[in-house]
Amino acid sequence: MSIKVHQLTKTYGSQKAVNEVSFEVATGQVLGFLGPNGAGKSTTMKMITCFLPPSSGTAEVAGYDILKAPMEVRRRIGYLPESNPLYYDMYVKEYLGFLAGVHQLGSKSKSRIAEMIELTGLQREQHKKIGQLSRGYKQRVGLAQALLHDPEVIILDEPTAGLDPNQLVEIRSLIKSLGRRKTVILSTHIMQEVQAMCDRVVIINRGNIVADDTAERLQQNLQQEAVWRVAFKETVDLKTIQRIAGVKQARQDKQAWILTAAKDADLSAAIFNFAKEQQLTLETLVKEQSSLEEIFQKLTN
Amino acid sequence: MWSIYKKELNAFFSSVIGYIFIVVFLLITGFFVWINPDSNVLEYGFASLDVLFSVTPWVFLILIPAITMRSFAEEISAGTIEILATKPIKDVSIILGKYFAAMTLVLFSIVPTFIYFYTVYELGSPKGNLDSGAIWGSYLGVLFLASAFVAVGLFASSITKNQIVSFVLAVSLCFVMHYAFDMVSNLDVFYGRFDAFVQQLGMSAHFISIGRGVIDTRDLTYFLSVTAIFIFFTHTSLESRKW
């Protein structure tokens, strides 16, 4: 286990920002940390990275306790904070050089910096001041900063916030490739992101973990009913449509009908037979997946 | 620590801050030492640099808080403190790196005033007729005073993310530490009984004492303690992470 979080708690006054959160992440796993704004994602990450001291509980990173051996933990973590703070007056190379010094990379500094610049695609911007870069490039500098010392554990707080669609794809594939060798925790509130990058999802709400599973299984387990979208060429009224065997509920959505049935009922055959009986022309017949968005809403509302 | 030191020193000299500090310091002290009719050495008739050393604390009182005000306040408001604090570097190294960078800038501004020293030395009648011991002592006093001001400035900067608050707080604290004890010692309550003791609490008395050219360990201990205490306060303030 690369990361073991044990009953981590952070209280601000009487408010519990993070409430006895426990989870583990294995080496080579990408964990998506999901939750609405203010759920406690960032606070949890700040505690794991030794920035904020926990009110109680602890965590272990690469075998080192965050309270007992914070320096060892810091050496092994690459961290990209939420707002991607950077020194805007520094040049890209100067900034990475400064951090190489902080990490005491010594003679490896130059090659590591060159590697990071290539990995994050900063070649053309490497001689610019950080403040002159566009948002996407600043994010890359932030990532280069987090990866510079080749850490075992990478913690990224909303790494894709504010990127354009092309940059999103690039950064996601970068993170995914990192996940093969390293342990990654990333927070986000975008569901596709989780589906695209993460092996596992932890959903947190108001400081409590409400789900911890793979994205697929979450989707399956939380689905209590199957939803079908059907459209006929002819007009059909509600009474007729409810004759379809197994339909619990039906409502009209523009030209189509949205039919709800039990989770494992197979409506397609019934609908097809119904169309034949009534001599209707079937135009659309789709089983709708309840999206992770809906699951997220269900869990966090 | 040296990484931080280098970064801070670069920040001073890649912007105008460092140059402004040095130029303004030299302009103001130069004005009082050479031009101002009430204080200039040429009309005063004595080969001494007393003017320089009585003006310097006032100039530092404004200039040092001006260079330290951003040191932590900017990191806190930009959030870069989160990057620094999650790197394998101790808080105390961050503070000392910034402290030494500011002290280096102070040193750069003081060194050119050796020209004043040399000129007055040449102007003496006979040549070299001046109290060199007192002048070297005063230079040492200036360094110790600057050290205390820098530490106070760093502390003021570490408790806020607003640079103006940091500046005003640092100037006020430095003023109180430097002069206020001297002034208060003249109050009737203290006068004749505790006035010497109250004076000793302030920096001014110790600065003047070192300036006489007699190095008294009590004066050195005083300035080093003030520096250490404020660096400790800065550390506490950083550790608390309450911004």
User: Which of A75, A74, A70, A116 shows the shortest CA–CA distance to A93?
Assistant: A116
The pLDDT tens digits of the residues spanning B49-107 come to 888 898 999 999 999 999 999 999 999 999 999 999 999 999 999 999 999 999 999 99
Residue B7: list chain A partners with CB under 8 A: 87, 90, 98
Burial class (CB in 10 A: 0-12, 13-18, 19+), B140: middle
**Cβ separation A81–B78 shorter than 8 A:** no
Residue B79: list chain A partners with CB under 8 A: 81, 83, 85
pLDDT given for residue A224 in this prediction: 66
* A276: its two tokens: 């034949």
**Cβ separation A94–B10 shorter than 8 A:** yes
**Cβ separation A52–B7 shorter than 8 A:** no
Cβ(B121)–Cβ(B197) under 8 Å? no
pLDDT given for residue B226 in this prediction: 95
pLDDT given for residue A164 in this prediction: 83
Cis bond leading into A70, ω under 30°? no
pLDDT given for residue A291 in this prediction: 63
Segments in chain B below pLDDT 50:
none
Segments in chain A below pLDDT 50:
none
Maximum Cα–Cα distance for chain B, whole Å?
62
Interface test with B, best of A83, A87, A102, A157 (most B CBs within 10 A): A102
**Cβ separation B87–A52 shorter than 8 A:** no
| Complex ipTM | 0.86
**Cβ separation B7–A50 shorter than 8 A:** no
DSSP code for A6: E
The pLDDT tens digits of the residues spanning A168-220 come to 888 888 888 888 889 999 998 777 778 778 889 898 888 888 888 887 787 77
* A286: its two tokens: 């789709």
Task: Tell whether A81 lies on the interface with B, counting CB pairs under 8 A.
Answer: yes
**Looking up tokens 């965050």, which residue turns up?**
A66
Asked whether the CA dihedral A33, A35, A36, A39 is positive or negative, the reply is negative
Distance between CA atoms of residues A237 and A243, nearest Å = 11
Total-model pTM: 0.85
Burial class (CB in 10 A: 0-12, 13-18, 19+), A108: middle
Task: Tell whether A28 lies on the interface with B, counting CB pairs under 8 A.
Answer: no
Residues of B with CB under 8 A from a CB of A: 2-4, 6-7, 10-11, 14-15, 78-90, 241
pLDDT given for residue A223 in this prediction: 65
- Measure CA A153 to chain center: 16
* A179: its two tokens: 């996940």
